[in-house]
Amino acid sequence: QAQETRVAAAVANTSSSRGVETQLRERFGVARPGEGVIQIVRDSATSSALTTQSESWWARIFHTLFVW
């Protein structure tokens, strides 16, 4: 009965044009004409600044135990 409910919901979802478009986008990775890909790239200066800053061993233990 649970499987029957899931199948009925899937059929209802794909019965509209929006549902079909959603399934095509998810399964095949298609896009509309004019749509593109956005890539977010971190600035290397900010990430290297965080790694060069060193903490004392006491501060590392404190931050390991009390993370919030």
pLDDT tens sequence across 3-54: 999 999 888 878 888 888 888 888 888 888 888 878 888 876 655 545 556 7
pTM: 0.41
Task: Provide the token pair at 53.
Answer: 């800053």
CA distance 37 to 46: 24
pLDDT at position 4: 94
3-state secondary structure string, the chain?
CHHHHHHHHHHHHHCCHHHHHHHHHHHHCCCCCCCCCCCCCCCHHHHHHHHHCCCCHHHHHHHHHCCC
**How many Å apart are CA 21 and CA 14, to the nearest integer?**
8
